[in-house]
Amino acid sequence: MSPCIRASLMSFAVVLVVSGCKPAAESTSQAAAPADTAVAAAPVTWPASLRVMGDGFPNAGDACRRIGETEATVNYLDDSATLAGCLSADDAAKLGGNVVGTVDGVTLVSVPNQAAIPGDGDGQGDAKVAGTNYNATGPIRCSGYKGAPAGMCEAGVVRDAETGPYIDVTLPDGFKRTIFFNKDGSFLSFSTAQADGTAAMAIASSREGDTTIAKLGTERYEIPDVFVQGD
């Protein structure tokens, strides 16, 4: 065979090999495309029917949230427990409370405020709620702030302050109202200021059984003795 013919045949073979490889390369590229164009997971959202509070329960960053009073939850609220909501049943089970219902896919759990933790009559002292400066946290009955109807407000109590216990109440718009008590647990006063007009509001208190009723102007707060002083 002449050199010219041999060279032509070799060139033709190379063309066939290259042409045969192209479809395979394109097929590989097409197979990889779905992985490159995967849709990102949708962000976690909470239904508008729930009043979601804070950035995690029982600690900041946790998957569940405190749930406030709305038409959908009013029957689940309890003075002696915190109502929490979880987007998954597994997260709800970890809270150790009682599952009381489901609203728009969110599992609602009632978690007792006086769970067996150091400081609740166990002789270990009055410990802090994890991630906070409070000795206890939970909802208290409240009403009247900027015309708000009766409902539940989240609160935290510091029992070992030098001048006596005080409670920080988180109001519907996120603002905090502080209520001060004497060392014997009796009501003392509210935090007030000239700037927001609270300094001019009338302050009063009364007792209903084992509960202090503290009033600031039209605002009303019901604070059980056990919340202020522990057991």
What pLDDT digit, counting tens, does each position of 168-195 carry? Answer: 999 989 999 999 999 999 999 999 999 9
Is the domain of 224 the same as that of 143?
yes
The answer as to whether 162 is a domain residue is yes
Is the domain of 192 the same as that of 141?
yes
Total of domains in the chain: 2
The answer as to whether 192 is a domain residue is yes
Is the domain of 158 the same as that of 220?
yes
Instruction: Check residue 162 and report its DSSP letter.
Output: T
Predicted confidence (pLDDT) per residue in 18-71, tens digit: 455 454 444 444 544 454 444 444 456 899 889 888 788 887 788 999 888 888
Is the domain of 181 the same as that of 105?
no
Q: Does the pLDDT of residue 147 top 60, yes or no?
A: yes
User: Quick one: pLDDT at residue 3?
Assistant: 53
Is the domain of 143 the same as that of 221?
yes
The answer as to whether 58 is a domain residue is yes
Measured CA to CA, the distance from residue 85 to residue 93 in angstroms comes to 11
Residue 46 in contact with residue 72, Cβ under 8 Å? Answer: no
Name the one residue in this structure whose structure tokens are 């979880």.
86
Name the one residue in this structure whose structure tokens are 């609270």.
198
The answer as to whether 20 is a domain residue is no
The SS3 of residue 87 is coil
Q: Over pLDDT 70: what percentage of the chain?
A: 75
Measured CA to CA, the distance from residue 110 to residue 77 in angstroms comes to 8
Is the domain of 103 the same as that of 140?
no
Of the residues 80, 112, 144, the one at which a domain ends: 112
Residues β-bridged to residue 141 = 152, 222
The answer as to whether 181 is a domain residue is yes
The answer as to whether 40 is a domain residue is no
Is the domain of 144 the same as that of 89?
no
User: Quick one: pLDDT at residue 124?
Assistant: 44
**Identity of the residue numbered 136:** A
Residues 6+ apart with CB under 8 A from 10: none
Domain that holds residue 220: 136-229
Is the domain of 147 the same as that of 82?
no
**Average pLDDT over the chain, rounded to an integer:** 80
The answer as to whether 13 is a domain residue is no
Of the residues 70, 96, 112, the one at which a domain ends: 112
